[in-house]
Amino acid sequence: MKLLFIFSITCLCMLSSSNGSTGRGDGLPVRAVNLGGWLVTEGWIKPSLFDAIPNKDLLDGSGVQLKSVTVGKYLCAETGGGTIIVANRSSASGWETFSLWRINATTFNLRVFNRQFVGLDSHGNGVDIVAVANAPSQIQTFHIDRNPNDLKRVRIRASNGFYLQVKNEELVSADYDGNGGWGDDNPSVFILSTSGGLQGEYQITNGYGPLLAPPLMKEHWSTYIVEDDFKFIKENGLDAVRIPVGWWIASDPNPPKPYVGGSLQALDHAFSWAEKYGMKVIIDLHAAPGSQNGWEHSASRDGSQEWGRTDENIQQTVDVIDFLTARYAKSPSLFAVELINEPLSPGVSLDRLTKYYRAGLEAVRRHSQTAYVILSDRLGPHEPLELVDFAKGFTKVAIDVHHYNLFSPIFDNLTVQQNIDYVNTNRTQQLTHITVPNGPLIFVGEWTAAWQVRDASKEDYERYAAAQLRVFGQQRFGWAYWTLKNVQDHWSMEWVIKNGIIKL
Ligand SMILES: *[C@@H]1O[C@H](CO)[C@@H](O)[C@H](O)[C@H]1NC(C)=O
Ligand SMILES: *[C@@H]1O[C@H](CO)[C@@H](O)[C@H](O)[C@H]1NC(C)=O
Ligand SMILES: *[C@@H]1O[C@H](CO)[C@@H](O)[C@H](O)[C@H]1NC(C)=O
Ligand SMILES: *[C@@H]1O[C@H](CO)[C@@H](O)[C@H](O)[C@H]1NC(C)=O
């Protein structure tokens, strides 16, 4: 009896030492939670982070519309850009919306629909306003003065020191030198409105600027996720964390402006806590240089998606993967490296993406034979099996698919039961379709208990979450909930666990 006991202990130890920190076979499937909104900012997860930014409605990527008080019409980049700015539109949409690049709280570049920047006409009389420059310089830089008693009333000063004025509906120039007050008779006064806007890492760091951003971000990183969170995660039956990181982490402690150093140290802490509690870490490159999808969670500056357009940019991303894998390869908690999150089709072509995936796989394997490499499925129009064939040629590879009953009109009016049926039937079908013999493992790297159903009961949420846990739990690589903490209750795994909606 005693001998048998010792023998089985030895077996367990061998198992656990040959398979990382968990001692459960190959450690699959994972039951993970994302640490969203920590090392890559997403304003909707913790809006209060943005509260103290001066002129916080004028961040990078905010859309602004400007209505002349004298002609009562909106400024417009005629034909969307590439020519003059006019003031003859009675309603505002794409061509009448200018996307901001923030220099500081009061100084901006304005990008038009076709992506040129508004500026003085250097090829003409030097004062007319055009949108022809592909990159901003001094003459594309404007100072926005707000009426302190009515922040929606603004005047815009050009680099020549003069204010923009609307001379008539077809002529806007920077040659107003009166002061004229804030009245409706002043051709240099505009009514400002805003739309859209992103609240990502670029916006928060550039919004606070070089003096205020570093202490604020460091405070966030050191208080938002702490050792106790890992203890909580472990005690509640989870065994892994998926940690979104941004490309700038690889140049810590001095990342390119406006990013702030220190996120690497926070990731170091996460690894030491994961080791202490015997948990796995999936590093997830959530924000790639230039942004792979134009959303705030990939740190897009203004909604543009530039990632992957050049070989240089792909190589830069491979270098980030190389850096991160090298740094953590020796940690027993390094379980997987996800090469990029949610690349968006058609902006990111399959050809560019697989070129990157091939190089990224090699970069991981230079440092680790044991870490899984995770390839994120493209969002947007794509063939469900497009990565499966590619991935067959590699070992220890998983494909990450994200499944939300959200973000598509098909979920708008579903009942509780229809949502659950969709998970049981349609999600199962979708996942079965991409699961092929000798193919990559499937990972549901993001899902949530949040949905579109209004006034759902606790029991409704429990049944919906249980259906997802069952279907996603059958996937060979497992799943990760989005996300650990969130001001919106059902997006917070901490909240749904504490409130008994999810029991593992
Ligand atoms: C606005 O002015 C431009 C330039 O003269 C003209 O081509 C365009 O048709 C005008 N648009 C409207 C709606 O008046
Ligand atoms: C904002 O930037 C402009 C242009 O670089 C500069 O002239 C101005 O002094 C800056 N304002 C502040 C408050 O830093
Ligand atoms: C959902 O219901 C609303 C209100 O009845 C309706 O206006 C809308 O078109 C429906 N959406 C879809 C996608 O069926
Ligand atoms: C879900 O699957 C069922 C059964 O295959 C199918 O009839 C239905 O159209 C699917 N629903 C959606 C929204 O695709």
Does 159 lie in the same domain as 99? yes
pLDDT tens for each residue of 152-208: 999 999 999 999 999 999 999 999 998 779 999 999 999 999 998 999 999 999 999
81's torsion region: left (phi>0), alpha (psi -120 to 50) or beta?
Answer: left
Q: What is the CATH number of the domain that holds 230?
A: 3.20.20.80
Does 352 lie in the same domain as 478? yes
Asked if residue 449 lies in contact with residue 502, where contact means CB atoms within 8 angstroms, the answer is yes
Q: What is the CATH number of the domain that holds 184?
A: 2.80.10.50
Strands (E), 90-147: 98-104, 107-111, 117-120, 129-133, 142-147
pLDDT, average across residues 36-58: 98
Which carries the bigger pLDDT value, residue 2 or residue 455? Answer: 455
Cβ of 104 below 6 Å from ligand 2: yes
Domain boundary among the residues 196, 225, 256 is at 196
Position 14 confidence tier, pLDDT thresholds 50, 70, 90? very low
Does 245 lie in the same domain as 122? no
Cα 412 to ligand 4 centroid, rounded to whole Å? 15
Q: Point out which residues pair with 102 in neighbouring strands.
A: 108
Which pTM does this prediction carry? 0.93
pLDDT value at 23 more than 70: no
Identify whether 6 is part of a domain: no
Domain boundary among the residues 174, 196, 218 is at 196
Percent of the chain with pLDDT over 70: 95
Position 431 confidence tier, pLDDT thresholds 50, 70, 90? very high
- If one counts the domains in the chain, the total is 2
Cα 404 to ligand 3 centroid, rounded to whole Å? 19
Cα 23 to ligand 3 centroid, rounded to whole Å? 50
- Give the number of the ligand closest to the Cα of residue 54: 2
Does 375 lie in the same domain as 227? yes
Identify whether 504 is part of a domain: no
- Check residue 238 and give its pLDDT: 98
Cα 414 to ligand 3 centroid, rounded to whole Å? 10
Per the structure, the complete domain to which residue 153 belongs is given by: 62-196
Q: Which of 170, 342, 362, 459 is catalytic?
A: 342
Q: Cis link prior to 346 (omega < 30° from 0)?
A: yes
Domain boundary among the residues 128, 163, 196 is at 196
Separation between Cα atoms, residue 503 and residue 241, nearest integer Å: 17
Identify whether 56 is part of a domain: no
Position 398 confidence tier, pLDDT thresholds 50, 70, 90? very high
Does 209 lie in the same domain as 86? no
Q: Which of 42, 201, 446, 462 is catalytic?
A: 446
Does 213 lie in the same domain as 185? no
Structure tokens at 139: 């003459």
- Which of 76, 85, 88, 130 has most ligand 1 atoms within 8 Å of CB, for mutation? 88
pLDDT, average across residues 454-459: 97
Identify whether 2 is part of a domain: no
Identify whether 14 is part of a domain: no
- Give the number of the ligand closest to the Cα of residue 103: 2
Does 190 lie in the same domain as 218? no
- Check residue 2 and give its pLDDT: 36
- Check residue 21 and give its pLDDT: 40
Position 304 confidence tier, pLDDT thresholds 50, 70, 90? very high
Identify whether 476 is part of a domain: yes
- Atom of ligand 3 at shortest range from CA of 409: 13
Q: Is 96 tagged catalytic?
A: no
Does 231 lie in the same domain as 122? no
Position 22 confidence tier, pLDDT thresholds 50, 70, 90? very low
Q: Is 342 tagged catalytic?
A: yes
Does 412 lie in the same domain as 471? yes
pLDDT tens for each residue of 92-115: 999 999 999 999 999 999 999 999
What are the C-alpha distances in Å from 152 to residues 23, 25, 226?
Answer: 61, 62, 41
- Check residue 24 and give its pLDDT: 46
The helix (H) or strand (E) run that includes residue 173 is strand 171-176
Identify whether 458 is part of a domain: yes
